[in-house]
């Protein structure tokens, strides 16, 4: 049945004639405020809403709450992992939220959000209905139904309001060899090192741009890994130093992270980017090209960094907007906020859809401190709008406190904007869509046949149609097409996510949608 | 690919779905230089919703001649061009209700009388043909010569062949209107400029009526939401196209199609309790006395939950062994529905205007024939099947009668 | 930290409780987790946070599970597609 060596994502159970399908269990819950994401923003929002008197459920995809910044290693972890101040602060935040009555459901990924709190969204006629009768609201004040499933079971939560605090993911643009095992995002390296105490490899090269490369490097050293080098695309260290110098709040953290790198004599290169990863069955070396003043790699002056078994490449972060896009919130593009992000009212964290709030990176990349503050604002405002305590004076103070660190983050994002020429390294045999194994040559051929955009080339090549639904390749495809068409990547926009937001078993879907 | 819009064309085809692509290919192979203008992505609207079954079974008895021709034509196209995953896998139509056995027998008798070879299978025989179909069905009809194609790749292959023979294609080029002088078509207007042409083919699916209305051509066509779900890639399990037997009550009483793509995804859709209202109920008065065209919404909405529920229920009822596989994605498109469920294909209104729209959700199979009808019309030839069935003025005639 | 034992493609492997399957495999210098669907090229952990579905392995008989989201358990059987 199966093809040797090639993994299918699903298993067919043998069934005899007349056997009904195996039924799944879906727990049904309800609350005032349902929060998606148990990171810095989500936990702060949960604690704030619960202390205002609201009943709160938090859904989180990971086995343990904490998100990326407040990542919680397992209880059995060694003191060297669990002893750091971020872990301690995260543990406090989780404990406070739970003490306030918050129910955190880990290991549950949201696969659907629908307006209407009564049941699964109400029965509406399907195929036979003419478009003129189209009357589905994208959202409403009647609340929401959230469907989530994962390692720890399936749930269906009805909530009066929702707060989306789904964080961000690394921004990656394909280059030859980026699918080799050992080539990962800095975020992946950070999770391996901080959560499991495992460096991503014996000897790692970290490359890309942004302040995040520094903590990743520090974590890898702490987990016992060696660093071949850190390669920062940006070539204006004095400007970066000036931004840091203006923000005394982060001096101590900066020193804590930079010290071990300095002590380990890790080479720190500037003004170049990885244009290829080399290796047969895993990464062995990286090819680096210097960047010119316009951010384009000079492919005639490359050099190699060898003897590596891990290569982390990422150019900052993109907000996770699948959920807010799925419920119809308005989004804006701003390079200094990580690109497309959910539009939020700073005073309340409300989105353009009534009853939907967005906290943390979903509303624009700003880092952990602003995320905590915006989470608290969202939690207080969501509870207040449901009739719980008036917290407007506190929210005003929080908005004022958030201004400084948010401006710092914006300045850093702007400084570390990805080089314009990232797509220049893409060759015709570079894989663009990892899920469906689609190369740049195939995408370019579709463009030459008349497909004119990401959607058109997706239909003809399957690029973006696979398991990740374009989350990983979306920005790379946009960059490739923009380069081909002489457009700006932002003009290519983003695809509206469709049901399900994550793959979900047929049996779970069936049980979840039962009246 | 150059992006400048040509100034002239022998024929402008409005709409780059399968009908526009097939028409462009037929015209280009006949020696004309057609220009295909698509408002979005090729095959991204109606054709993208299709599960592209190439079938003659349980379709329309009056159209059997056209259907037999077009089913054979698809096989030829596979041999001549290929590249669109043509698979003569056969089609099963399952029967869930006692009353539908007679319906199936009626279809089978009539089709066999016309020289086709469908047959009725009992559940044991069904499992010989489709082993994973273990659900408690009563019987199924079986049309062994039916096939399936990849709808996206079929559009691409036909457009590529058309371009090889001299056609030009442009995506993201919406046609705002058809220009006329006296009672003759002279061109089209687009945001990228005008194109002079003596012939315009409206192959714009549920958007065709909007373009035809200003020319005094009223097409009683309504958009209907078509939805589909797909699972992750799984090992080969479903061999055939599996659909519901047409119920007493017609397509609207229930509809199902299930198949596995060559790449391994199970594609499926079901509407158990369909709506009604194709019969012009949604027409609005636009103040000119003529009914305004109804077009799909500008922003495509998500799938209906009831549709998802019905589709998952039906799939697992038929194939309980799939319970543990995951649904990956869903999509929605709009198809064009006519009062008699047939295409409109042929001349209409001013000289040089041609209609090729009205897929009724089963347009994929017919598209080469619709392309042939229009091409023969433009060349002044007689098509190899009954053109009268598709005349644009048939509804006016029916209303007057 | 308590040591537990899992099997990977039949080989016994020591891991620490609480670490992810992805980390256990990387720590054991086994970065190839599967083959890509069309080219059959080797693939491993990429995003590390559940978004990219590159780290799919079969765990205790269930295919398509993300190694980066599942924590190891004593006696767990992991099969890669390498």
Here the tokens at position B127 are: 């499992």
**Does B121 score more than 80 pLDDT?**
yes
Give tens-digit pLDDT for B342-385.
Answer: 999 999 999 999 999 999 888 999 999 999 999 999 999 999 99
Q: What is the pLDDT of residue A435?
A: 94
Q: What residues in C contact B328, CB-CB < 8 Å?
A: none
d(CA A26, CA A509): 9
Which chains, if any, share at least 3 CB pairs under 8 A with chain A?
B, C
Closest alpha carbon to A423 in A506, A501, A487, A494: A487
- Structural contact between residues A138 and A328, judged by C-beta atoms closer than 8 angstroms: yes
- Structural contact between residues A40 and A10, judged by C-beta atoms closer than 8 angstroms: no
Instruction: Look at A213-222, A327-336, B193-202, B342-351 and tell me which has the smallest mean pLDDT.
Output: A327-336
Displacement of CA A344 from its chain's centroid (Å) = 18
Q: What is the pLDDT of residue B286?
A: 45
pLDDT grade, residue A137 (50/70/90)?
very low
CA distance B331 to chain A (A): 7
Is B232 in CB contact (< 8 Å) with chain C? Answer: yes
Of B233, B324, B326, the CB nearest to C37: B233
Closest alpha carbon to A479 in A435, A430, A420, A428: A420
Task: Report the SS3 class of residue A270.
Answer: strand
* Bond before A223 cis per omega within 30 degrees: no
Give tens-digit pLDDT for A68-86.
Answer: 999 998 876 666 666 788 8
Q: Do B235 and A3 touch (CB under 8 A)?
A: yes
d(CA C25, CA C66): 12
Q: What is the pLDDT of residue B284?
A: 46
Average pLDDT, chain B: 90
Q: Do B232 and A503 touch (CB under 8 A)?
A: yes
Which are the contacts of B181, defined by CB distance < 8 A and separation ≥ 6? none
Here the tokens at position B86 are: 């043509």
Beta strands, E only, B88-192: 91-95, 119-121, 139-143, 147-148, 168-170, 177-181, 184-190
Q: Do A500 and B282 touch (CB under 8 A)?
A: no
Radius of gyration of chain A (CA): 23
Q: What string of DSSP letters covers A449-512?
A: TT--SHHHHHHHH-TT-STTTTTTTHHHHHHHHHHHHT--GGGG--PPP-S-SS-EEHHHHHHH
Q: How many CB pairs under 8 A join A and C?
A: 172
**Does A119 score more than 90 pLDDT?**
no
Q: Do B132 and A15 touch (CB under 8 A)?
A: yes
Closest alpha carbon to B26 in B243, B227, B203, B270: B203
**Does A486 score more than 80 pLDDT?**
no
Q: What is the pLDDT of residue A100?
A: 97
Is A151 in CB contact (< 8 Å) with chain C? Answer: yes
ipTM of the complex: 0.97
d(CA A19, CA A10): 20
- Structural contact between residues C68 and C59, judged by C-beta atoms closer than 8 angstroms: no
Q: Considering all CA atoms of chain C, what is the largest pairwise distance in Å, rounded to the nearest integer?
A: 41
d(CA A50, CA A102): 6
CA distance C38 to chain B (A): 9
pLDDT grade, residue A128 (50/70/90)?
very low
Q: What residues in A contact B225, CB-CB < 8 Å?
A: 126-127, 129, 131, 134
What does DSSP assign to residue A130? B
> Which residue does chain B place closest to C62, by CA atoms?
B324
% pLDDT > 70, chain A: 91
Of A446, A469, A509, the CB nearest to B329: A469
Q: Residues of C numbered 9-48 whose beta carbons fall under 8 angstroms of chain A's beta carbons: which are they?
A: 16-20, 22-24, 26-27, 29, 31-48
Pinpoint the alpha helices (H) of A288-352. 322-326
- Structural contact between residues B172 and B261, judged by C-beta atoms closer than 8 angstroms: no
**Which burial class, exposed, middle or buried, applies to A247 when counting CB atoms under 10 A from its CB (0-12, 13-18, 19+)?**
middle
- Beta-carbon count within 10 A of C73 CB: 14
Is A196 in CB contact (< 8 Å) with chain C? Answer: yes
**Does A152 score more than 70 pLDDT?**
yes
% pLDDT > 90, chain C: 88
Give tens-digit pLDDT for A188-211.
Answer: 999 999 999 999 999 999 999 999
> Which residue does chain C place closest to A78, by CA atoms?
C1
Which are the contacts of A280, defined by CB distance < 8 A and separation ≥ 6? none
d(CA B267, CA B152): 14
Report phi then psi at B309, rounded to 5: -60, -50
- Structural contact between residues C16 and C52, judged by C-beta atoms closer than 8 angstroms: no
Give tens-digit pLDDT for B267-284.
Answer: 999 876 543 333 333 434
């Amino acid at each position: 049945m199966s093809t040797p060596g090639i993994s299918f994502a699903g298993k067919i159970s043998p069934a005899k004639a007349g056997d009904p399908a195996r039924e799944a269990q879906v727990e049904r819950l309800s609350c005032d405020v349902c929060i998606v994401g148990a990171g810095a923003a989500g936990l702060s929002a949960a604690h704030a809403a619960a202390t205002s008197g609201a009943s709160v459920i938090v859904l989180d995809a990971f086995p343990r709450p904490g998100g990326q910044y407040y990542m919680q290693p397992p209880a059995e972890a060694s003191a060297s992992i669990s002893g750091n101040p971020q872990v301690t602060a995260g543990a406090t935040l989780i404990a406070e939220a739970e003490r306030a009555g918050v129910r955190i459901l880990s290991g549950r990924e949201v696969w659907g959000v629908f307006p209407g709190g009564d049941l699964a969204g109400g029965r509406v006629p399907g195929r036979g209905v003419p478009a003129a009768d189209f009357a589905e609201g994208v959202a409403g004040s009647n609340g929401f139904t959230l469907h989530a499933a994962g390692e720890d079971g399936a749930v269906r939560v009805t909530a009066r309001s929702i707060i989306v605090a789904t964080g961000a993911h690394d921004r990656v643009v394909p280059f030859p060899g980026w699918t080799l095992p050992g080539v990962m995002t800095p975020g992946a390296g950070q999770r391996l090192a901080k959560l499991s105490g495992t460096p991503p490899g014996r000897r790692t090269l970290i490359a890309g741009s942004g302040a995040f490369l520094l903590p990743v490097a520090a974590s890898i050293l702490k987990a016992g890994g060696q660093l071949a080098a850190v390669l920062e695309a940006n070539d204006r260290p004095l400007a970066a130093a000036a931004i840091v110098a203006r923000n005394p709040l982060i001096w101590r953290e900066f020193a804590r992270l930079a010290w071990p790198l300095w002590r380990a004599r890790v080479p720190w290169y500037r003004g170049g980017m990885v244009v290829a990863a080399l290796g047969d069955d895993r990464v062995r070396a990286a090819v680096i090209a210097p960047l010119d003043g316009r951010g384009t790699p000079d492919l005639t002056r490359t050099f190699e960094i060898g003897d590596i078994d891990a290569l982390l490449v990422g150019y900052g972060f993109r907000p996770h907007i699948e959920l807010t896009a799925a419920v119809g919130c308005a989004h804006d593009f701003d390079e200094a906020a990580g690109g497309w992000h959910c539009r939020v009212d700073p005073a309340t964290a409300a989105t353009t859809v009534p009853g939907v709030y967005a906290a943390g990176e979903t509303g624009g990349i700003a880092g952990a401190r602003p995320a905590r503050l915006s989470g608290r604002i969202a939690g207080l405002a969501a509870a207040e709008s449901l009739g719980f305590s008036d917290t407007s004076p506190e929210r005003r103070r929080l908005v004022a406190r958030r201004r400084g660190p948010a401006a710092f983050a914006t300045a850093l994002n702007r400084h570390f904007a990805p080089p314009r020429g990232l797509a220049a390294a893409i060759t015709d045999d570079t894989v663009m869509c990892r899920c469906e194994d689609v190369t740049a040559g195939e995408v370019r051929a579709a463009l030459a046949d008349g497909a004119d955009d990401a959607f058109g080339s997706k239909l003809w090549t399957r690029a973006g149609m696979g398991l990740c639904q374009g989350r990983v390749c979306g920005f790379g495809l946009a960059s490739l097409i923009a380069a081909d068409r002489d457009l700006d990547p932002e003009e290519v926009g983003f695809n509206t996510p469709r049901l399900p937001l994550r793959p979900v078993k047929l049996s779970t879907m069936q049980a979840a949608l039962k009246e | 690919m150059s992006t400048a819009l040509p100034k002239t064309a022998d024929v402008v085809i409005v709409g780059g779905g399968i009908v526009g692509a097939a028409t462009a290919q037929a015209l280009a192979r006949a020696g004309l230089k057609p220009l295909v203008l698509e408002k979005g992505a090729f095959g991204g609207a109606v054709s993208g919703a299709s599960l592209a079954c190439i079938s003659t079974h349980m379709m329309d008895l009056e159209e059997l001649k056209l259907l037999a021709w077009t089913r054979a034509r698809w096989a030829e196209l596979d041999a001549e061009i290929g590249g669109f995953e043509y698979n003569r896998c056969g089609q099963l139509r399952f029967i869930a209700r006692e009353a539908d056995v007679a319906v199936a027998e009626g279809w089978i008798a009539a089709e066999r009388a016309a020289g086709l070879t469908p047959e009725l299978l009992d559940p044991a025989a069904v499992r010989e043909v489709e082993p994973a179909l273990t659900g408690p069905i009563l019987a199924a009809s079986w049309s062994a010569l039916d096939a399936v194609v990849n709808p996206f790749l079929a559009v691409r292959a036909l457009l590529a062949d058309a371009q090889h023979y001299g056609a030009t294609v442009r995506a993201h080029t919406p046609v705002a209107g058809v220009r006329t002088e006296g009672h003759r078509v002279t061109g089209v207007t687009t945001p990228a400029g005008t194109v002079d042409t003596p012939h315009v083919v409206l192959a714009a699916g549920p958007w065709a009526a909007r373009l035809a209305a200003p020319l005094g051509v009223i097409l009683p066509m309504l958009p209907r939401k078509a939805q589909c779900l797909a699972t992750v890639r799984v090992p080969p399990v479903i061999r055939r196209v599996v659909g519901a037997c047409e119920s007493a009550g017609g397509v609207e009483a229930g509809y199902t199609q299930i198949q596995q793509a060559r790449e391994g995804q199970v594609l499926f859709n079901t509407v158990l309790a369909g709506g009604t209202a194709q019969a012009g109920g949604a027409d609005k008065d636009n103040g000119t006395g003529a009914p305004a065209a109804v077009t799909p919404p500008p922003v495509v909405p998500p799938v209906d939950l009831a549709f998802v529920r019905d589709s998952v229920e039906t799939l697992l009822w038929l194939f309980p062994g799939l319970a543990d596989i995951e649904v990956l994605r869903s999509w929605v498109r709009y198809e064009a529905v006519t009062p008699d469920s047939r295409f409109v294909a042929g001349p209409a209104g001013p000289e040089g205007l041609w209609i090729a729209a009205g897929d009724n959700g089963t347009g994929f199979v017919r598209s080469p024939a619709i392309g042939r009808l229009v091409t023969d019309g433009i060349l002044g030839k007689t098509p190899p099947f009954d053109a009268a069935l598709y005349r644009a003025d048939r509804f006016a005639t029916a209303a007057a009668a | 930290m308590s040591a537990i034992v899992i099997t990977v493609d039949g080989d016994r492997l020591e891991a620490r409780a609480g670490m992810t399957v992805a980390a256990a495999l990387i720590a054991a210098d086994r970065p190839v987790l599967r083959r890509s669907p069309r080219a059959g090229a080797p693939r491993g952990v990429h995003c590390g946070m559940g978004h990219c579905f590159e780290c799919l392995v079969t765990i205790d008989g269930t295919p398509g599970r993300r190694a980066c989201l599942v924590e190891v358990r004593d006696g767990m059987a992991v099969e890669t597609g390498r």
